[in-house]
Structure 1
Amino acid sequence: MLVIHGVTRSRASRIVWLCYELGLEFEQIPVIQAYRLPNADAPDAPLNTHSPAFLALSPAGAVPVMQDGDLLLNESLACTLYLAQKAGGPIGPTDATEQALMMQWSFYAVASIEPDALTILFLHKPGQQQPGEDVAIVTNAAERLIRPLRVLETHLSTHAYLVGDRFTVADLNMAEILRYAQGHHELMDQFPATRAWLDGCQARPAFREMWARRLAEPE
């Protein structure tokens, strides 16, 4: 059986969502991020990214890790792209061209959107009093996201999805990364087609199932 090491409140969410889309059975081992614990190295600490048992699987000490038989993968996008191709069907590529486009959009998301989107996730607190330094950092991150989001908006203004006019692993990967920035409404309101596409992705039953699993975990 497929094994996912990592809590759903991590990039493991991408793999869990895809498993629900594909109807794949999986076992999830809830490895928590060490930074979320008061003392990750304490003898009674739960299994975490500092635990020797986990470091044997991931020397970098990062979740998620996925095991599929003898295959061990450490990068979430490698995991989702692999599973989509292996499973076949509409969510994966039908040929080499689609495979290349799915990789292109996934890599674009992680390289051009994820760093600044994560900054917004961690520092943007709408409706709360915030340090001026944090406000400036968020403002700069949002400004840097305008260029890549314009690329996405241009495509989604004339296409329902990223590849092949159907929901694929490329949409899943992009949506899970863009989710980090969706709470910045002033930014997202500039890109109505992108916002509508993201809403559609998150309305899918498989996303809702993953999200319920995520919310059931301790914060």
Structure 2
Amino acid sequence: MLTIHGVTRSRASRLIWLCHELDLPFTQNPVIQAYRLPDPQAPDAPPNTRSADFLALSPAGAIPVIEDDGLVLSESMACTLYLARRHGAPVGPQDAAEDALMMQWSFYATASIEPDALTILFLHARGGSGDPQEAAAIDTAAERLRRPFAVLEDHLARHGHLVGSRFTVADLNMAEVLRYAQSWTPLMQDFPAICRWLEACQSRPAFHKMWQARAAEPE
């Protein structure tokens, strides 16, 4: 059976959402980020990204990691693309062209959107932005996001989804990255197609199942 190493309050959320879309059974080893613990090396510390057992799987010490039929794989986008490809349509690719497009949009999300979206998440969505320097950093990140958001807005306004006119792993990967910036209204309000698409993605039962599990975990 597939094993997912990582708490749901991490990029493992992408894998867990996908497994629910696929009705794919999995076990979860709730490895937590070491920075969230007062002493990750303490004898009574929970499994974390500095635990020896986890580092044996992931020398980089980053979650998520999956084990699947002998394969050990890290990097959340690699994991979701692998699982979608292995288990097929409708969420996965129907042919090589769709496979390439799903990789294209997933890499675009990580390279062109995720860094600045994370800035908004850490400084605004988690209660910051009162400090003038933090507010300026949010404004700068949001301004940089306008160009990739414009590309995404145009595509979604014309096609409704990223690949194949249906919900796929590309939508899931992109939606999980955009979620980081979703709370910044001055940016989001200028991209109505993105907002409609994101609402539809997050209205899916599989997303709600993942989100409930995430909410049940300690912050």
For the aligned pair, the TM-score class normalised by the smaller chain equals: over 0.9
Corresponding residue number in structure 2 for 1:2: 2
1:123-178 deviation digits (Å, cap 9, x = unpaired): 01598771111111111000000000000000011111000000000000000000
Query: How many angstroms apart in 2 are the aligned matches of 1:126 and 1:105?
Result: 27
Corresponding residue number in structure 1 for 2:139: 139
Corresponding residue number in structure 2 for 1:55: 55
- C-alpha root-mean-square deviation of aligned residues, in Å? 1.2
Q: Which runs of 5 or more residues in structure 1 are unaligned?
A: none
Corresponding residue number in structure 1 for 2:117: 117
How far does residue 40 in structure 1 lie from its aligned partner after superposition? 1.1
Corresponding residue number in structure 1 for 2:197: 197
Corresponding residue number in structure 2 for 1:39: 39
Query: How many angstroms apart in 2 are the aligned matches of 1:13 and 1:130?
Result: 29
Query: How many angstroms apart in 1 are the aligned matches of 2:168 and 2:134?
Result: 35
Q: TM-score, normalised by structure 2?
A: 0.98
Query: How many angstroms apart in 2 are the aligned matches of 1:171 and 1:129?
Result: 29
TM-aligned CA distance change 1:66 to 1:138, over 3 Å: same
Corresponding residue number in structure 2 for 1:17: 17
Query: How many angstroms apart in 2 are the aligned matches of 1:5 and 1:167?
Result: 26
Equivalent position amino acid for 1:2 in 2: L
Corresponding residue number in structure 2 for 1:92: 92
Q: TM-score, normalised by structure 1?
A: 0.98
**SS state of the match for residue 158, structure 1?**
helix
Equivalent position amino acid for 1:48 in 2: N
- Alpha carbons 2:162, 2:171 under 8 Å: kept: yes
Corresponding residue number in structure 1 for 2:149: 149
Equivalent position amino acid for 1:211 in 2: W
Q: How many residues align?
A: 219
Query: How many angstroms apart in 1 are the aligned matches of 2:201 and 2:38?
Result: 35
**SS state of the match for residue 67, structure 1?**
strand
- Alpha carbons 2:5, 2:63 under 8 Å: kept: yes
Query: How many angstroms apart in 1 are the aligned matches of 2:27 and 2:185?
Result: 36
**SS state of the match for residue 161, structure 1?**
coil
Query: How many angstroms apart in 2 are the aligned matches of 1:129 and 1:203?
Result: 28
TM-aligned CA distance change 1:182 to 1:70, over 3 Å: same
